[in-house]
Amino acid sequence: MDSNTQTTQSERTRKLILSALFLAVGMILPFITMQIPTIGNMLCPMHIPVILCGFICGGPYGFAVGILTPLVRSVLIGFPALYPNAVSMSFELAVYGGLTGVLYQKLARKEKGMAAIYVVLVISMISGRAVWGVVSLILYRVMGNVFTWQIFAAQAFVNAVPGIAVQLVLIPVIVRRLQKVN
């Protein structure tokens, strides 16, 4: 094996291990925040490791961790409920992780500052919530239930304000700190 092949394989292995770590954090973090269910739901604890995975490991890894985290957690722990919650969340989180990784890779070539991190984060968060809304609308209609604009706005934005705030404060600081280390 030449050194480029070894470097590429080593980098893939590093990203795979980090992705597994982010998946594990996504499984464990809700245990900490769900001690007070009302607050735990507002903090969106699975979102943080998925978004960080996108920033750190890239789009494909963030996408995979985003899809897997709510589904695996639902199957192993029973929360969130598999259908429709974990299914719709898996689409949402896949968009967060995948889009964050893809956008950050494209933007980081030009700009590595906090502004680039915030642009990527905000676009990914809005896109993920929009996908969650569309998937939820479809799943609730299939079930014969109603999913209105008011439900979407309340669940995606109003109830999630604390989680959105935590993400907007915590994630850029972590990503920026990691940029300085590398």
Domain assignment present for residue 27? The answer is: no
Domain assignment present for residue 29? The answer is: no
Fill in the DSSP letter of residue 83: I
Total Cβ atoms within 10 A of residue 145: 11
CA distance 95 to 129: 9
Domain assignment present for residue 39? The answer is: no
Domain assignment present for residue 126? The answer is: yes
Per residue of the chain (182 residues), give pLDDT as tens.
566 777 799 999 999 999 999 999 999 999 888 777 777 778 899 999 999 999 999 999 999 999 999 999 999 999 899 999 999 999 999 999 999 999 999 987 677 789 999 999 999 999 999 999 999 999 999 999 999 989 899 888 888 899 999 999 999 999 999 887 76
Query: Alpha helix locations (H) across the chain?
Result: 3-33, 37-43, 47-57, 59-77, 87-108, 114-143, 149-153, 161-181
CATH code of the domain containing 71: 1.10.1760.20
pLDDT of the residue at 135: 96
Range of the domain at 146: 45-181
